[in-house]
Structure 1
Amino acid sequence: MDHEHNVASENQCFKKTQIVSVTSVSPVKITEPRQVCRILFNGETDNQKIHAIRKIQGCYHVVLYYESVKEKHHDWSLTGWIVESLARTLLDHPLLAGRIQERNDATGFEIVSNDPGIRLLEARCSNTLSEFLELNKKERDDHDHETELVFWNEIDAQFPRFSPLFYVQMTNFISGGYSIGISCSLLLTDLLVVKKFLNKWAQTYNMIPSISNKEIDTPIFNYLDSKNPKFLSSEDLNNHSQHKNRVQSVGFKITTKDVNLSKELWRELATVCIEEAEKKLEMKIGSSFSLVVKESLEVIEVESVTKSGIENQIVCITSWDDFGVDEVVFHEENKVVHVSCWIGLVADGLVMIFPCIEENVCGVIVVAPS
């Protein structure tokens, strides 16, 4: 009997997830006035715009795993509640539901909160949650199964206005349990506020039944659980996140109190963090890299940089773990059982800096080329 059990365990294998449905979620109200974030490509000419767009490819993935909730009708209504809570949360984060477009004055690109929506996918996995976590842990070096739980298509370099900047994938495991996979363009990913956004989303999710004077028994967006769901063909959806492994990355949180913020500082800071990242990753990232600085909610600057000398203005460097999202709860008393965060689909060396002047800190991500 034990021998049969061991053989069954050895033959246990991962079963690919299948997409059941795809929809778009926009803010519940039209965004007025529209928010605009300019993307400035320093040193680029009109003939290099497509090349410039390629410099800002890549995304930030987060996967949160939850056990099943033992409540009547909760499983089939979960995605519906997710849709409603997302639509309400996007009121405070409308750029996530926006698109990149060329500026009217032809001076570059901008992200506009024009409300075409984020993409929401529902998927099924034929493994149990515990099986999936165990298999992914064992086979991580050879097969990164977690890419099945997130969806991402790169920004179209020629027609960026048609490319969503934010994807959410809800994956249900057999015998209960689910994951929420988030993919966000690196242009919109500010690691100092990602956790705030997720917590706001979860808070809204948990408050929806009390928003109305009368109790809401079912969500407006009712995704009935079908015993025979119609899976979408892989030819219908081109998920690039499943075809490329995550790249290596290191995150830092830097204290900048009493420091003069300037372009020179950003370049020096990038050099310092690259050297730290090279030590942690035990590899050379190179002397040239792309630098993306999210100067404010209205401006993102992108430029090519070569390592330079360092004037040590950096007060403190802490780790990627400071940006954790392991306390996000989408249902009362249903804590996260596992969280994964990683950067994907970046071809060249990249440093991203997210200043937060109010808190005297900067978030920095160094991405090693794949």
Structure 2
Amino acid sequence: MAAAAVPQVHIESVQTGLPTRVVEPDRTRLIAVAAPPLPEAALQRRFRAVLYYRGGEQKAEWEEGVWVKESLGEVLCFYPEMAGRLRRRGDGSWEVKLNDAGVRFQQATVEATMEDFLADKDRVRKESALAPWIDVTAEDPDMCSLLFMQLNRFQDGGYAVGVSCTTLLADPLALARFLLAWARTHAEMKEQNKAAIRPMMQYMAYFQRPEICCKRIRSYPIDSAASAEDNGLHAHTALFRTTNAATAASPESRRALARACIARASEELGGAGAGIRAPPRFSLVVAPEDSARGGTTIETVTADAGGGHAALEAAQWSDLGLEELTLRDAKPVQVSCRIVTRGDEGLVVVMPDGDGFLVSATIPM
């Protein structure tokens, strides 16, 4: 009896979404590193989101891909850092150079129905194929994209938008706000320009349809993408919220907040029978309140000083608002979020949110 074929992902197009307007020269955003050098593993820590949608006709999916690139270019004018590149500074810190290098955008087909994919008990691992990532190299960081987006089409017409972004560029909350702004821009552009641009869009989509051009850039088994990230997926993330802005007003209070979150996340795992203890040290990433004027800070914190007594409320990934990301007049039927790390260090990301902070605490398992 012949073995069942291993489902594959076929990459049909690889493009770069560029801002439609040139950013002002010499703009940068600082990433202050408390104790350089920054380990290369820190460059790969990222937030991954996959949003699943019910689909329609195949032709419409590929036409949608053309609109995705067009709307990305427009929204990047208001979020130019998303199209930037990392650059090392002389003092050991880093910066995001706002140089219009662009966002990597791919279109892919998946040899599975969306229904079967969502029901797969190994789905979390396999989502690596839907939201790919290419490592940022410490030697040539300016050649590496910091944000990847992939539009995946399933065999039953459903589709998924997969996004991966390094936490040094954008924290999960900031990335979610960018994606929501992109979705609004996407809908507005389609509505305003449908009559004038639709013929051109259909023409471009025609040549991108795989059943017509019969050319694929590359194909690979879904499992192979999952296996490549196995180490990074063995982590548990808990989300917390604190409404007291003074809780993170100073570096030491932010460390105390981070220790409290790591301790609570470890307790959650311990309560689930995983037998996980808090890591002895972890990276603390603090996002700026205003990305246009402030910079990100990153430092290594030891967990041996106690977890503190910060007033924490449990939060959920749904607090990011991605369940409201509407494409083609439909909201996602499911949203999957995850922080992918490497190494044995934990990771805490402090994100300003109104009068308080949303905090993610990730510990290795």
Q: TM-score range, shorter-chain basis?
A: 0.7 to 0.9
Show the counterpart of 1:223. Answer: 205
Separation of aligned partners in 1, 2:187 and 2:200: 12
Q: Given the alignment, which residue of 334, 337, 342 partners 2:333?
A: 337
Residues 8-52 of structure 1, C-alpha deviations (whole Å, 9 max, x = no match) = xxx9876121111111111111112554211222122xxxx3x53
Pick one of 297, 301, 305 that aligns with 1:301. Answer: 297
Aligned in 2, Cα 1:101/1:120: closer, same or farther, shift over 3 Å? same
Match of 1:351 among 340, 344, 347: 347
User: TM-score normalized by structure 2?
Assistant: 0.85
Q: Secondary structure at the match of 2:149?
A: strand
Give the conservation status (yes or no) of the 8 Å contact 1:81–1:219: no
Query: Does residue 60 of the first structure (1) align with residue 60 of the second (2)?
Result: no
Q: After alignment, is 243-252 or 11-20 more displaced?
A: 11-20
Q: CA deviation at 1:144?
A: 2.4
The SS at the match of 1:68 is: coil
**Residues 266, 353 of structure 1: 8 Å contact kept:** no
Question: Is the contact made by 1:294 and 1:355 (CA closer than 8 Å) also made in structure 2?
Answer: yes
Secondary structure in structure 2 of the residue aligned to 1:305: strand
C-alpha change, 1:294 and 1:86, in structure 2 (3 Å) is same
Alpha-carbon shift at residue 58 of structure 1 (Å): 1.4
Q: TM-score by structure 1 length?
A: 0.84
Comparing 347-356 and 208-217, the one that deviates more = 208-217
RMSD: 2.7
Alignment equivalent of 1:121, drawn from 106, 113, 125 = 106
Identity %: 27
- Are the structure 2 counterparts of residues 261 and 233 from structure 1 closer, same or farther at C-alpha, using a change threshold of 3 Å? same
Contact kept in structure 1, 2:59 and 2:205, CA below 8 Å: no
Matched with 2:273 is none
Matching residue of 1:252: 240
Whether the aligned pair in 1 keeps the contact of 2:280 and 2:302 (CA below 8 Å) is: yes
Provide closer, same or farther for how the CA distance between residues 223 and 83 of structure 1 changes in structure 2, counting only shifts above 3 A.
same
Aligned to 1:133: 118
Any stretches of 5+ residues in structure 1 without a counterpart? 1-10
1:365 is matched with 360
Q: Give the gaps of 5 or more residues in structure 2.
A: 271-275
Shift of 1:259: 4.2
Q: From the superposition, tell whether residues 217 and 98 of structure 1 become closer, same or farther in structure 2 (CA, over 3 Å).
A: same
Partner of 1:86 in structure 2? 72
C-alpha deviation, 1:116, in angstroms: 0.7
Which structure: greater helix fraction?
Answer: 2
Give the 3 Å change call, closer, same or farther, for CA 258–139 of structure 1 in structure 2. Answer: closer
Structure 2: how far apart are the matches of 1:260 and 1:17? 43
Note if contact 1:170-1:181 (Cα within 8 Å) is conserved in structure 2. Answer: yes
User: For each residue in 1:45-74, what CA deviation from the matched residue of structure 2 results, as whole angstroms up to 9, or x when unmatched?
Assistant: xxxx3x53433421111111111135x942
Contact kept in structure 2, 1:256 and 1:361, CA below 8 Å: yes
| CA distance in structure 2 between the partners assigned to 1:351 and 1:150 by the alignment | 21
The equivalent residue for 1:5 is none
